[in-house]
Amino acid sequence: MPVIGVLALQGDVAEHLAALRRLGADARAVRRRRELDAVDALVIPGGESTTMSKLLVAFELLEPLRARLAAGMPALGSCAGMIMLASNVLDGRGDQESLGAIDMTVRRNAFGRQVDSFETDVVLDGIDGGPFRTVFIRAPWVEKVGPDVEVIGRISGGEADGKIVAVRARNVMATAFHPEVTGDERIHRAFAELVRAACDQSDDDKDTRDR
């Protein structure tokens, strides 16, 4: 069984761990380099992206995590996690680090401040079961994506109509909202399936090389 880590420096760590464990995943908190080395995939939770950036540096995880993502490790980012996975961040701090795992430009706090938090339904391409009830808390949105990034969710209606709020690029998924707080586990299930497929492909590639 693949091991899925949840970056446990700051944010909605317990909620992601609980959602993954309800699906039967081997989910573990990741705070140290040795813990990162022991997982097959990583969830980067919602929280505060500038704080998360500073803590990645302080815990000496920034460059090892960048290397794992560049090597193809699957990842899921929600809200602040989406910001962390972006290649370019607008309205961020000057010293804010990102991981560059998805070729996209993200606008931090695009929907406004904490008092502007809201819920709405979003249809997610490739995820069955009807619209996903989404929770946006000081959320980003995606301004633009590169040619290899698949847009899987947009806001429908209102002033933010058409804004991109969910994407996938190879083995990496990101949402502007918080799937971990809704009780709807379809995004976590889709990610767990993505991780299993990536691990199976890695095993097949290793077997081919060893022959």
Annotated catalytic, 180?
yes
Domain coordinates of the chain in residue numbers?
A: 3-210
pLDDT digits (tens, 9 = 90+) for 13-23: 999 999 999 99
pTM: 0.92
Three-state DSSP at 93 gives: coil
The two structure tokens encoding residue 209:
């090389």
Q: What is the pLDDT of residue 104?
A: 98
- Please compute, for residue 19, the number of CA atoms within 13 A of its CA located in the half-sphere on the CB side: 24
Rounded to a whole number of angstroms, the distance between the first and last alpha carbons of the chain is 24
**Which residue of the set 15, 79, 97, 188 is catalytic?**
79
- Torsion, Cα 138 162 167 183, to 10 degrees, reads 60
**Which residue of the set 178, 185, 193, 199 is catalytic?**
178
Annotated catalytic, 178?
yes
Annotated catalytic, 188?
no
* CATH code reported for the domain at 3-210: 3.40.50.880
Confidence of residue 97 (pLDDT cuts 50, 70, 90): confident
**Which residue of the set 180, 185, 193, 199 is catalytic?**
180
Packed helices 13-22 and 186-210: angle between N→C axes, nearest 10 degrees:
70
pLDDT digits (tens, 9 = 90+) for 34-82: 999 999 999 999 989 999 999 999 999 999 999 999 999 999 999 999 9
